[in-house]
Amino acid sequence: MLGALDGRLGDARAHLALDHSFSDALLLAELSVFAHDELASDVIALELVLRARKLDPKNINILSNLAEIAFVSGHDEDLARTLHEIAGLKASPDERLAMATLAWAAAYLHEHGDQVLRARLLDAHRQIERGSAIKWTWTGTKHALAYGRFHGKGVHAVLDVISLLEKPASNETSAALAELLLHAHERR
């Protein structure tokens, strides 16, 4: 599908006015984020992020994007494998929170036990500096949850959690998150 990009990443970099320090892997990763967030095309996003991963397999940003796209695309094995890879790397608090959210949401939506994952999500949220909002964007994920392959009442609970995570971290948001997660099973 994206064969037109083969051998043309330099042209894309020039067109986007990116300097040469912006690697092909990062360019592909950014294009995958654009496809996911702005085009709502996770087929294209997945292909782009997989290409980026081949070029830079230990890049935490690329792996984090892959995890998010795998989640919304229903590639549960890829999500689990990628989350495992990320766990062995030094992730920022934002990335840890985003990955904990994806892990919890995947388990929750598949109606698997999520107590441990719920605890990890709460712990990751506590690690965010109070008063600051995470830099992770959920645009593509929220769109996929609302209009994609996910159906049922559980989707609304996940969307509520994500909406809460977009607010600046505080003791109040931590308490609200704990309450949402505690009662999420009632919303399936």
**Cα-Cα end-to-end distance for the chain:** 37
- List per-residue pLDDT tens for the chain, 188 residues long: 455 445 555 655 555 565 555 678 888 888 888 888 877 788 888 988 999 999 999 999 999 999 999 999 889 899 999 999 999 898 899 999 999 999 999 999 888 867 899 999 999 999 999 999 888 888 888 888 888 778 777 899 999 999 999 999 999 999 999 999 988 877 66
- Which residue range is the domain that position 14 belongs to? 7-91
Q: Is residue 2 part of a domain?
A: no
User: What pLDDT is attached to residue 4?
Assistant: 43
Say which CATH number the domain at 60 has. 1.25.40
- Whole-angstrom Cα distance, residue 36 to residue 51? 15
Token code pair at residue 14: 């020039």
Last residue of a domain, one of 63, 91, 119: 91
Last residue of a domain, one of 61, 91, 121: 91
- Whole-angstrom Cα distance, residue 45 to residue 65? 9
Last residue of a domain, one of 59, 91, 123: 91
Number of H helices and E strands in the chain, helices first, is 10, 0
